[in-house]
């Protein structure tokens, strides 16, 4: 399989899609033939052409990607994958996901796979969970976290859970940092988490201006990732 990373969040809404899109765009700008992959998209938009995976559309705008299949399951309900699939009368199976991932692996050097929400997300019922897919793909995690109060607990638990499952963690990216209003905890959280877990901070991303995945507003997403992620550490 191609080299890659699996991007998960400490929670929903922490900016996984923004980080994934920015990482792909930045890597491609460095001459690395990178691609995104969203195995399951819930909250898709219904159009005249059918359901549209908004995360994939955002990737394409930020990273200037060619047309390709970057998504396997596209579901309309904005719910957890398992519940969205149940309502949509769809069964999420690993085989189609692996087939699409392997196809991308033949054409791209590095794949950034984006999960849905946090680490312990059900994909089908309560028996096929996101960690099952991560372990099948055998990719290390990039964890996207919030910078604010409470992130120590959420981030450390996510790291410890991954380690318990024998899933490697490459590092943590903190998204949405506001230097002007940062509290003492926000300024020190990444350092404290790294000391507790031994997992490095890959970057602290400032709040973007007018970035909206659902509305397709990319603004300065790419520039933020290029300027604030340690790519030497990421690719080491």
Residues belonging to the active site: 38
Q: Which of 48, 235, 3 is nearest to 139 (CA)?
A: 3
Contact 55, 44 (CB under 8 A): no
> 138 exposed, middle or buried (CB, 10 Å; 0-12, 13-18, 19+)?
exposed
Tokens of 44: 């898709």
* Beta bridge pairs of residue 217: 212
Asked if residues 144 and 173 have their Cβ atoms less than 8 Å apart, the reply is yes
Contacts of residue 134, defined as CB under 8 A and 6 or more positions apart, other chains included, come to 6, 8, 115, 141, 167
Please, are residues 169 and 140 in contact by the beta-carbon 8 Å criterion? yes
Instruction: Determine contact, residues 146/13, Cβ cutoff 8 Å.
Output: no
- Which residue spans within 48-121 are E strands per DSSP? 50-52, 71-74, 110-114
Q: Using CA atoms, how far apart are residues 134 and 130, in angstroms rounded to an integer?
A: 6
Quick one: CA torsion of 28, 31, 33, 38, rounded to 10 degrees? -20
């Amino acid at each position: 399989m191609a080299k890659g990373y699996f991007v998960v969040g400490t929670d929903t809404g922490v900016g996984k899609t923004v980080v994934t899109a920015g990482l792909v765009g930045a890597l491609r700008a460095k001459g690395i033939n990178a691609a995104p992959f969203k195995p399951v998209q819930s909250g898709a938009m219904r159009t005249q052409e059918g359901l549209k995976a908004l995360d994939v559309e955002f990737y394409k705008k930020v990273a200037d990607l060619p047309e390709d299949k970057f998504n396997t399951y596209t579901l309309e309900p904005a719910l957890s994958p398992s519940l969205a699939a149940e309502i949509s009368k769809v069964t999420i199976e690993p085989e189609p996901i692996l087939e699409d991932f392997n196809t991308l692996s033949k054409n791209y050097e590095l794949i950034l796979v984006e999960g849905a929400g946090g680490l312990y997300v059900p994909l089908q019922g309560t028996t096929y969970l996101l960690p099952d897919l991560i372990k099948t793909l055998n990719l290390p995690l990039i964890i996207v976290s919030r910078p604010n109060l409470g992130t120590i607990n959420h981030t450390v638990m996510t790291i410890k859970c991954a380690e318990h499952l024998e899933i490697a963690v490459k590092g943590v990216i903190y998204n949405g940092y506001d230097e002007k209003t940062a509290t003492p905890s926000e300024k020190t959280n990444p350092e404290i988490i790294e000391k507790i877990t031994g997992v490095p901070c890959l970057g602290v991303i400032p709040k973007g201006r007018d970035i909206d995945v659902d509305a397709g507003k990319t603004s300065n997403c790419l520039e933020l990732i290029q300027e604030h992620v340690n790519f030497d550490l990421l690719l080491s």
